Amino acid sequence: MATRQTRTLARTMMAPAVIVLLIWMAVPLAMTIWFSFQNYSLINPMMTGFAGWGNYEYVIGDPSFTQALVNTLLLVGGVLLITVIGGTFLALLLDQPIWGQGVLRILVISPFFVMPPVAALIWKNGFMHPGYGMLGHLFKALGLEPVDWFAQYPLFSVIVIVAWQWLPFATLILLTALQSLSEEQREAAEMDGANAVNRFRYIILPHMARAITIVILIQTIFLLGIFAEIRVTTGGGPGYASTNIAFLVFRTGILSNDIGAGSAGGVVAVIIANIVAIFLMRAVGKNLDA
């Protein structure tokens, strides 16, 4: 069907999507790069002119940047670890013959549909509040001192909330992958006398490898940009203890009105995301072709 006419048509049909995405990618990004080399503050109109690498030196040289970078890696890594391991466990569990599988699936998937600010607020107030949160009550019942989670373990608390939101996603995808494993294969392994551990190690895990890669890829895209959970719980604090790169840019650019420095932070965030993306695309590409 590859006549010249259809080919021209195909290009025309694709054009709107390609053009809007191209503009959406190129224009703001070019502006961010431009601003990042300017002295530009919304509160101080006297600050103008070319800044050279000044904004970058200011942003990267500040201790808050190193901390935000470390926090970003801990946040992404921590959540991935919890969701992939927990998701594998849950998927295996839900794949067993159990009563009420349909309802269970619904219960397990639900946190994924909870919008980030709600997830953060119900954990912050209903669960982690030292005075009247569920965990506070539990600690008191056990005779322990209630923990003020967001003051004492701010980043850990954010990780818990985000992991709670993404565990259902990992579970659902791994479960779908698991259920596509053919019955014959499992039974054959069972008849050959493979025990549960070996069946998991040599049959189930390799089968799920692709799904696990995809879970990691997609979650990383979203986890690098975690914002609302931090905004409504700790506000990035105390100090910079729970500020990630995304929140640091927001803090510098929008809250402190320093467009130049905020943009420099934004460019750095894009570079980090690209480094991660290249690795992930390569890993996924390998897995997808196989």
26-55 residues in contact with other proteins (CB under 8 A) are 27-29, 31-32, 35
Residue from 51, 76, 108, 155 binding other proteins (CB under 8 A) = 108
The full 3-state SS of the chain, as one line of letters, equals CCCHHHHHHHHHHHHHHHHHHHHHHHHHHHHHHHHHCECCECCCCCCCCECCCHHHHHHHHCHHHHHHHHHHHHHHHHHHHHHHHHHHHHHHHHCCCCCCHHHHHHHHHHHHHCCHHHHHHHHHHHHCCCCCCHHHHHHHHCCCCCCCHHHHCHHHHHHHHHHHHHHHHHHHHHHHHHHCCCHHHHHHHHHCCCCHHHHHHHHHHHHHHHHHHHHHHHHHHHHCCCCHHHHHHCCCCCCCCCCCHHHHHHHHHHHCCEHHHHHHHHHHHHHHHHHHHHHHHHHHHHHHHC
Instruction: Output 52 or 126, the one with its CB closest to other proteins.
Output: 126
Q: How far is the CB of 173 from other proteins (least distance, A)?
A: 5
Cis peptide before 238 (omega within 30 of 0): yes
The yes or no reply on residue 76 touching other proteins (CB under 8 A) is no
The yes or no reply on residue 9 touching other proteins (CB under 8 A) is yes
Interface characters, 214-243, with other proteins (x: CB under 8 A): x---x--x--xx-xx--xxx----------
The yes or no reply on residue 142 touching other proteins (CB under 8 A) is no
The encoded tokens of residue 191 equal: 């008849």
**Site for other proteins (CB under 8 A): how many residues?**
107
Interface characters, 112-141, with other proteins (x: CB under 8 A): xxxxxxxx-xxx-xxx---xx-x--x--xx
The yes or no reply on residue 147 touching other proteins (CB under 8 A) is no
Residue 70 · residue 198 · CB < 8 Å: no
Pick out residues in 171-200 that bind other proteins (CB under 8 A).
172-173, 176-177, 180, 183, 186-187, 190, 196, 199
Instruction: Output 78 or 247, the one with its CB closest to other proteins.
Output: 247
Q: How far is the CB of 52 from other proteins (least distance, A)?
A: 19
The yes or no reply on residue 156 touching other proteins (CB under 8 A) is no
Residue from 90, 155, 159, 216 binding other proteins (CB under 8 A) = 90
The yes or no reply on residue 60 touching other proteins (CB under 8 A) is no
Q: What span, in angstroms and rounded, lies between the C-alpha atoms of 122 and 114?
A: 10
Which range binds other proteins by CB under 8 A, 19-27, 48-56, 77-85, 150-158?
Answer: 19-27
Q: How far is the CB of 130 from other proteins (least distance, A)?
A: 12
The encoded tokens of residue 61 equal: 């040289």
The yes or no reply on residue 11 touching other proteins (CB under 8 A) is yes
Q: How far is the CB of 72 from other proteins (least distance, A)?
A: 10
The yes or no reply on residue 275 touching other proteins (CB under 8 A) is no
